[in-house]
Amino acid sequence: MECEECQRLHRMFLESLVAADRAETGLRCYFITHQKLAGVSDLDEYDALREQQQSLTEARHQAYLGSIQHRKQQH
């Protein structure tokens, strides 16, 4: 049986996985809708989406490593 910390870290990982996927989807949608032309405000939107995607991908990475490291310490 997993300890409370294992469960908490696993939930954090799953939540970060969903958030990173949403950010990636938002970036993909931007690429699809801006294939031909992108103005200055569009590039600002791109920068914001890219920054969010990178931040959430890093959070997912950290949540995964935290979960794995905790499990290693427990066993």
| Phi then psi dihedrals of residue 34, to 5 deg | -125, 40
* Unique residue bearing structure tokens 């995964």: 64
**Cβ-based neighbours of 68, under 8 Å, separated by 6 or more:** none
| pLDDT at residue number 35 | 82
Quick: pLDDT tens for 27-68. 999 999 998 888 888 999 999 999 999 999 999 999 999 999
| pLDDT at residue number 24 | 96
| pLDDT at residue number 74 | 82
Token pair for residue 35? 């294939």
| pLDDT at residue number 1 | 60
Distance CA 46, CA 39 (A): 10
pTM of the shown model: 0.81
Distance CA 60, CA 28 (A): 18
